[in-house]
Structure 1
Amino acid sequence: MARWCRGVVVGVDGSEEGYRALDWAAAAADRHDAALGVLGSYVVPLSPVPAGPLLAAGGLHAATGRAVAGALARLEARGTAGREVGTEVVPGAAAHVLVQRSRTSDLVVVGRRGLGAVDRALAGSVSSALAAMAYGPVAVVPASASVTLPRRVVAGVATDDYPGHVLETAFEEAELLGVPLEVVHAVDPGPLGSALRLYEGWGDAWRASAADAVRDDVQRWAQKHPGVACTTTVAEGRPADVLQRCLHPDDLVVVGGRSHLRVTGRMLGSVADRLLRVAPCAVIVSHARPGRKG
């Protein structure tokens, strides 16, 4: 499998959750033979400060630099095994800066919540905005996630949105990790579900139809990765709820970022948006790259 030539970028802010995301990103860079970039960013306040804007900017730059230095010390203690590590300290809103880095990176990694008051209050505003607007795959790592190698990869797929990029990412990760892959497809029958269940055999027929809808895509990727033990699960319910029930802290879940106008991002309430807030494990939101098909 080809190495990741563009590398992994991880955003840090000095928080423990950010450093756990760093650990996860370093492990991802190791298994993909990729360079690792550690990025810290800061926003200079627009309101006047007694020390003046230049001193304020200098203090913020220094504080962010200390967070990045702490990340490097953590990597040295972990042992990077000769891995190429770069650092950046730049002005700008974290979500915006990381979205731009997603143009030139194989993966961007962040913790679910950071140190900022807004990020804590809004349950991860930086991670949610990044996952919504990124140009490539994004991994969001909550505090509860295991930073050791995942024991299983779970892929959430939908038939109304091309699942190839999700399956590609999921199969590649499962193959590199040497762990099984479970492909989960959930369908919410909606308000008519109770009425339809009155018909004898409807449940079996519905599950069979749903399984047929994803079988061809899964089989195509399974042929490309014959060493991956893959199972497909079809369940009734809201997709985010179905996925959440089957996840554990030592899993890795891959979901799609639906096609969207980059000005608006994903709509609140999507499967990815919900999982970013509640999943106990690392979540990769795999956006389809232009012109890339499975």
Structure 2
Amino acid sequence: MSVPTVDEQPVGPVVVGVDGSPSSQQALRWAAGQARLTGQELHAVISFGLPLSRDAAVIGGSDWRGDAAEALRTTVESTLGGPGSGPVVQHVVEGRPAKVLLDAARDAGLLVVGSRGHGGVTGLLLGSVSEHVLAHATCPVVVVRERRTATGRIVVGVDGSHESQRALRWAARQARLSGSAVHAVGAWRVPLGSGLTVRPEADWAGHTSHTLAAAVAGALGEEDATGVVQEVVEGHPADALLSAATDADLLVVGSRGRGAFAGLLLGSVSRHVAAHAPCPAVVHHDRSSTP
């Protein structure tokens, strides 16, 4: 599947947060595979910070940077030490985990985090950290959950917004590189609200199907759109996506969408999807649309 030229080459390295936890090891493996797939550099980042303590002797007698560097080196070697593993640029940075990751990914093409991690001094992948990163990143963010059996399906949420079309193009490029199929999902619900007059006869499903088809064609072109499986589902957008991604290799959503009854990519939906996806989830941020 060919995609628009603007999306042919990813910009910047793949940046992955590491803290030594099993979740961060999964994230590192996924990031390494992605870097090999796209030809991007792989940068592994760990943070450290001095604990809040009045015991100066304890603080002065500890090599926090050295400990963090050793934890990073050990994790990289134990996770990627086999034959065929490419080079990994390792970064040890003092600071709060979320800020460290956001700064490291300022010029990245992709930021990868685990779904959970250690706490403490080197904890980089706590739920609150990944949530903060999802909200403020300027590049696509992947929250990794291990998917052991590949099915060759990439599910992407589409609501017609510009952000969802960018997410669709990202998914299409990923599918082309990995030999996967793209499954585009649109969701609809009869709008409910105080004082709102609902027309039961309105063709909500038909409207959503038209919006989905137009968005796919607009994002990928008429020819490539024919290779995309399109599905319209009645129900809450997050539920529709999670159900469609039950056996997917990857679930892709935009960071925000247009809202209203067909809105599939509202911030709350992308956060819910990232938190509960049964497979790695990509929340697509576009640098050009970042304030």
The answer, yes or no, to whether TM exceeds 0.5 is yes
Aligned residue for 2:164? 163
The structure-2 alpha-carbon separation of the partners of 1:71 and 1:123, relative to structure 1 and needing over 3 Å to count, comes to: closer
Question: How many residues were matched structurally?
Answer: 272
Partner of 2:144: 141
Contact 2:115 2:143 in 1 (8 A): yes
Deviations 1:177-204 (CA, angstroms, capped at 9, x unpaired): 1111011111232437xx95854xx5xx
Deviation at 1:74, TM superposition (A): 2.9
Which whole-Å CA distance do the structure 2 matches of 1:167 and 1:67 have between them?
37
Q: Secondary structure of the residue that 1:51 maps to in structure 2?
A: helix
Task: Pick which of 41-50 and 271-280 moved more.
Answer: 41-50
1:115-159 deviations in whole A, cap 9, x for unaligned? 117999x971111111111011111112xx216756211111223
Letter in 2 for 1:278: H
Q: Which amino acid aligns with 1:8?
A: V
Report the secondary structure of 1:163's partner residue.
helix
Find the residue that maps to 1:6 and give its secondary structure: coil
Deviates more, 1:63-72 or 1:108-117: 63-72
Which residue in the other structure is 1:244 paired with? 242
User: Closer, same or farther in 2 for the Cα pair 1:45/1:118, shift >3 Å?
Assistant: closer
- 1:153-175 CA-partner distances (Å, limit 9, x unpaired): 11112235642211111111111
- Aligned amino acid, residue 160 of structure 2: T
Instruction: Provide TM-score, normalisation by structure 1.
Output: 0.81
Alpha-carbon distance, 1:234 to partner: 1.1
The 2-side partners of 1:253 and 1:4 are apart by: 19
**Corresponding position: 1:36 with 2:42:** yes
In the alignment, the residues of structure 2 paired with residue 27 and residue 218 of structure 1 have an alpha-carbon distance, to the nearest angstrom, of 27
Q: Which residue of the other structure, out of 107, 121, 125, is the alignment partner of 1:104?
A: 107
Q: Secondary structure at the match of 1:78?
A: coil
Q: Report the counterpart of residue 224 of structure 2 in structure 1.
A: 226
Q: Is the 8 A contact 1:150 1:252 kept in 2?
A: no
Cα distance in 2 between the residues matched to 1:285 and 1:175: 19
Which residue is equivalent to 1:12?
Answer: 18
**Of 110, 128, 133, which aligns to 2:131?**
128
State the SS of the aligned residue for 1:226.
Answer: helix
Give the equivalent residue in structure 2 for 1:257.
255
Whether the 8 Å contact between 1:102 and 1:137 is mirrored in structure 2 is no
Q: How much does 1:230 deviate?
A: 0.9
Report the equivalent of 1:45.
51
Unaligned runs of 5+ in 1: 260-267
Superposition TM-score, scaled by structure 2 size = 0.82
Q: Retained in 1: the 8 A contact 2:216–2:225?
A: no
> Residue 77 of structure 1: CA displacement?
2.9
Q: Measure, in 2, the Cα distance between the counterparts of 1:171 and 1:157.
A: 13
Residue 114 of structure 1 corresponds to: 117
1:64-105 Cα offsets, whole Å, 9 max, x none, are 222211232135433345x33200111111111111122111
Q: How far 1:11 sits from its partner (Å)?
A: 0.6
CA distance in 2 between counterparts of 1:285 and 1:160 reads 14
Unaligned runs of 5+ in 2: 1-6, 258-265
**Mapped partners of 1:123, 1:37: distance in 2:** 19
Q: 2:279 aligns with which of 278, 281, 287?
A: 281
- The percentage of counterpart residues that share the same residue type is 32
Closer, same or farther: CA 2–214 of 1 in aligned 2, 3 Å: closer
205, 208, 216: which one aligns with 1:207: 205
Measure the CA separation in 2 of the matches of 1:46 and 1:234.
52
Q: 1:250 to 1:183 in 2, by over 3 A?
A: closer
Seen in structure 2, the aligned counterparts of structure 1 residues 9 and 224 have a Cα distance that, compared at 3 Å, is farther
Rounded to whole Å, the distance in 2 between the matches of 1:157 and 1:118 is: 39
The alignment yields a C-alpha RMSD, in angstroms, of 3.0
Q: CA deviation at 1:62?
A: 2.8
Residue 240 of structure 1: SS of its match in structure 2? helix
Q: Distance in 1 between matches of 2:149 and 2:15?
A: 19
Relative to structure 1, the CA distance from residue 215 to residue 224 in structure 2 (aligned partners, 3 Å threshold; closer, same or farther) is closer
**In structure 2, what is the Cα distance between the partners aligned to 1:136 and 1:168?**
14
Q: How many angstroms does 1:225 deviate by? A: 7.8
Q: Which residue of 2 aligns with 1:68?
A: 72
- Which whole-Å CA distance do the structure 1 matches of 2:71 and 2:121 have between them? 19
- Mapped to 2, the partners of 1:92 and 1:84 lie a distance apart of 25
- Change in 2 beyond 3 A, CA 1:225/1:167: farther
